[in-house]
Structure 1
């Protein structure tokens, strides 16, 4: 009996092994280039072992010798057959020209069991996404951003107050600050003000509930990691394991916060030019309507605010951190930026208005270069939605089947020396007016491209610029003994984020003194 069981087990192991070998030869069998996978994990083994973050994993595939010289290459993300796009012209076809054939992302939440996770612009499938996008795209225009700018300035002033209260060395008039946490406190307060219409007071009290929720939502606990991996890499299983984008605690906090703020704002009639005002207007417009609108779905408004907090505070705080890190390492670039800020502050009598902050050329060049070297969204994905598939290669005529995911390594593109000479060097001159003219189209994608690009680009850039202005108007940043010589990325983070603490020395050096 034992011998029979052993023989059956061995046969099963051999059968599984043969199946896996054949499964992972998918692209080779079809005559397409393929990066050699490992059994079971495919081409994301390092990611599963926390050896690298999402962005680094896809960059390593982008740079793999097997991919060299090819516009696209076959990969395997766990058991999924996928393509990694490497040619800007092909990327443009997928994201822009032939958008209708790639109208949804590959990742998916449980529309029935996770309303808060499925009713936001990022995860919504095409039909739902179309309606949400039509509602919100006008609300992230220049006009709306300009209306929200005073709220940003208020938080910027609180950032200055927070930094002024730090324990400075009296002799050197300096203090060493962990910049990642400082930036996170600032961006948490910004998103709380813009999306929730409340003062989170994270800068005044880092242990405040709002800041605690921001930390909690990114906490890499086993259950959360399992749910996120299912959502991104095994979406067909989300219903099976009841995968949720957020934890029950975060969902409860979001519902109670948004419902309370909307009720209070409706009762007192206050206006703040924030997203809560927009939510209330939408509720009034659709109240009593017989048409079934996505706005009337349970958790619709909560879903927008919850994802804006998740996506907004972390990406912007990381960008501010990376910017200050590079400015500290390159004093001459920092000196030139602060000279530009001094001129603007002098003209504005100590403040920088909306039109001015968006017109500062060197500030824009620096932020754009930070986003090139450290793109928060370090990879993009789409799913082929065309019923008859999509002809990915005109020469061979090969059509990728409907449902096939395609990936784009933004980090790989941004650090490809074919498009960016000396790609690891921080050089804002790449984005001078003259040099912008010679950029290869679609080689710079910090916010994606096409209809499903980031809708909050204007607001995100404004948030980063505001944070930098309110810091650099009062301080010069320098490296210190605790500053890492090279930036490393946090392996467990979804967006590109610094690993561990990012310590810099802040030296008091006010640019503008009131007369």
Structure 2
């Protein structure tokens, strides 16, 4: 090897060493405690080597030994500095009290090549987010959900009919059943479509829904960029939705919008909101709602988030009930007490069921489906700037991502004694005064929390009532003993298929 090449290698090595030293002591220079990073990987080695999911990586950082008394921790996403918030008061400050500095999410997709990802309510940046949320919010009010409830009951009866057709004492992959139920619900409630997932094993709508959360290396790369290196989103052309899913949603929503315009039918659902946005935009050439993909983007995020969160909550509840027979028996007795042999599950009465509410709350405590919350700090060019006072006399640099591990906080014994135990009694009325509800955030926190929270809870509750009123779930030889999370999933789901025995009673 020539002297020139050796000199070049040595020079590059020195430059890399100096760059890395300067990059990885960013938080130390500001006087903030940081977790020692690894070369190149920063603090993301386990996530980047596909050993854990992103939300588990944030949990591991939150629980790093030696930082138990720290209100926040400095971390590095590869080379990018970020912060993990630990103190509940600081979390409330960032997410609620000082929300005007944290209106945007830290994740981002490609604005040029991924209109369905970039423009939907989950990803869209302020001020577009604020305007969009105000227009879509009416779809998810209590009054609107009550109006939609008869449609939900129809799908609930379809679920019962589906279960009745199964052989006695069937062993089933329970997530598949729950996902078909919530797919049919979202299809009819948001779009007025009959997806027929429960009756048609080859339902196209169901297959495309499942494809959204497909675990693969290519999708894993996309989400690594979206979650950790959003500045590279345009260069790498990553997409929130796969090509097949994007094409399917475009076809479906284009058809529904055209049919609704032609018929003049008014259902006051998401499609009606999208049509109203389209009509308003006609007189404004620069309004994004003139673009079909902008409208389709809103449908895509509700299709994906709406079916997955509720189906996972149902699945994990049934898993825990199969391991806790006394809890299951008590819940089934409450269902019998409230509805007996009645054919109709009344809206007001299902909302009043105390033990059902406790059970679902405890599932979301132990298994918060998103696993974490994130925001991006945006400092104003003039006026008062955000600081980390009273913890540190430091301005948080604009563009810094901040993370809250809901999974870690929901399993912190300071707030939840014996946190690994599944115990709905935590949420019993007589124990409410013992709870720190600031440590409970299954649907996020602050103005940018989950817009569909009410609907998601009702979907899960209705599905559980329809499933358990005539059936019990039991462990079988293929049932896993505990939940291990899928390492490449963007939401909290089991790595293993969850099989349960379904007993008809």
Alpha-carbon distance in structure 1 between the residues aligned to 2:21 and 2:479: 46
Alpha-carbon distance in structure 2 between the residues aligned to 1:75 and 1:292: 40
Q: 2:225 aligns to what?
A: 230
Where does 1:434-445 land on structure 2 (aligned, <5 Å)?
A: 434-445=430-441
TM-score, normalising length: structure 2: 0.95
Alpha-carbon distance in structure 2 between the residues aligned to 1:315 and 1:182: 14
Residue 501 (1) aligns with residue 497 (2): yes
Equivalent position to 2:335, from 338, 341, 349: 341
- Conserved? CA contact 2:216–2:488, under 8 Å: no
Cα displacement string for residues 246-278 of structure 1 (whole angstroms, at most 9, x for unaligned residues):
222222211111111111122233344532233
Equivalent position to 1:448, from 436, 441, 444: 444
Residue 476 (1) aligns with residue 469 (2): no
- Stretch deviating more after TM superposition (20-29 or 319-328): 20-29
- Conserved? CA contact 1:390–1:402, under 8 Å: no
Q: 1:364 aligns to what?
A: 357
Structure 2 counterpart SS, 1:27: helix
After TM superposition, give the deviation of residue 316 of structure 1 in Å: 1.3
Structure 2 counterpart SS, 1:112: coil
After TM superposition, give the deviation of residue 155 of structure 1 in Å: 1.3
Q: 2:369 aligns to what?
A: 376
After TM superposition, give the deviation of residue 494 of structure 1 in Å: 0.4
Q: 1:386 aligns to what?
A: 379
- Stretch deviating more after TM superposition (360-369 or 53-62): 53-62
- Conserved? CA contact 2:367–2:407, under 8 Å: yes
Alpha-carbon distance in structure 1 between the residues aligned to 2:69 and 2:46: 24
- Conserved? CA contact 1:337–1:363, under 8 Å: yes
Alpha-carbon distance in structure 2 between the residues aligned to 1:507 and 1:352: 21
- Conserved? CA contact 1:148–1:273, under 8 Å: no
Residue 213 (1) aligns with residue 208 (2): yes
Alpha-carbon distance in structure 2 between the residues aligned to 1:220 and 1:395: 40
- Conserved? CA contact 1:115–1:298, under 8 Å: no
Cα displacement string for residues 448-496 of structure 1 (whole angstroms, at most 9, x for unaligned residues):
1111010000011011111101100110111111111111111111010
Q: 2:419 aligns to what?
A: 423
Structure 2 counterpart SS, 1:437: helix
Alpha-carbon distance in structure 2 between the residues aligned to 1:367 and 1:49: 33
Residue 296 (1) aligns with residue 269 (2): no
Structure 2 counterpart SS, 1:419: coil
Q: 2:53 aligns to what?
A: 53
- Conserved? CA contact 2:34–2:75, under 8 Å: yes
Q: 2:161 aligns to what?
A: 161
From the superposition, tell whether residues 4 and 282 of structure 1 become closer, same or farther in structure 2 (CA, over 3 Å). Answer: closer
Alpha-carbon distance in structure 1 between the residues aligned to 2:95 and 2:170: 46
Equivalent position to 1:179, from 169, 174, 178: 174
Cα displacement string for residues 96-138 of structure 1 (whole angstroms, at most 9, x for unaligned residues):
0000011111111222332211221110001110110110122
Q: 1:312 aligns to what?
A: 306
Q: 2:192 aligns to what?
A: 197
Where does 1:13-92 land on structure 2 (aligned, <5 Å)?
A: 13-92=13-92
- Conserved? CA contact 2:136–2:270, under 8 Å: no
- Conserved? CA contact 1:372–1:414, under 8 Å: yes
Alpha-carbon distance in structure 2 between the residues aligned to 1:58 and 1:393: 23
Aligned CA-pair RMSD: 1.7
Structure 2 counterpart SS, 1:113: coil
Cα displacement string for residues 369-413 of structure 1 (whole angstroms, at most 9, x for unaligned residues):
000000001011111112265211325311111111110000001
After TM superposition, give the deviation of residue 232 of structure 1 in Å: 1.6
Alpha-carbon distance in structure 1 between the residues aligned to 2:348 and 2:246: 37
Cα displacement string for residues 298-350 of structure 1 (whole angstroms, at most 9, x for unaligned residues):
4222111111112121221111110001111111111111111111113x833
Where does 1:234-313 land on structure 2 (aligned, <5 Å)?
A: 234-284=229-279, 286=280, 288-290=282-284, 292-313=286-307
Q: 1:3 aligns to what?
A: 3
Alpha-carbon distance in structure 2 between the residues aligned to 1:152 and 1:176: 26
Alpha-carbon distance in structure 2 between the residues aligned to 1:407 and 1:245: 20
After TM superposition, give the deviation of residue 294 of structure 1 in Å: 4.2
Cα displacement string for residues 47-97 of structure 1 (whole angstroms, at most 9, x for unaligned residues):
111211222211111111132111111111122101100011100000100
- Conserved? CA contact 1:100–1:386, under 8 Å: no
From the superposition, tell whether residues 442 and 67 of structure 1 become closer, same or farther in structure 2 (CA, over 3 Å). Answer: same
Alpha-carbon distance in structure 2 between the residues aligned to 1:466 and 1:316: 10
- Stretch deviating more after TM superposition (109-118 or 195-204): 109-118
Alpha-carbon distance in structure 2 between the residues aligned to 1:293 and 1:360: 45
After TM superposition, give the deviation of residue 432 of structure 1 in Å: 1.4
- Conserved? CA contact 2:102–2:378, under 8 Å: yes
Alpha-carbon distance in structure 2 between the residues aligned to 1:149 and 1:47: 41
- Conserved? CA contact 1:34–1:66, under 8 Å: no
Residue 350 (1) aligns with residue 340 (2): no
Consecutive unaligned residues in structure 1, runs of 5 or more: 169-173, 510-515
- Conserved? CA contact 1:35–1:66, under 8 Å: no
Q: 1:328 aligns to what?
A: 322
Alpha-carbon distance in structure 1 between the residues aligned to 2:222 and 2:134: 29
Alpha-carbon distance in structure 1 between the residues aligned to 2:434 and 2:120: 36
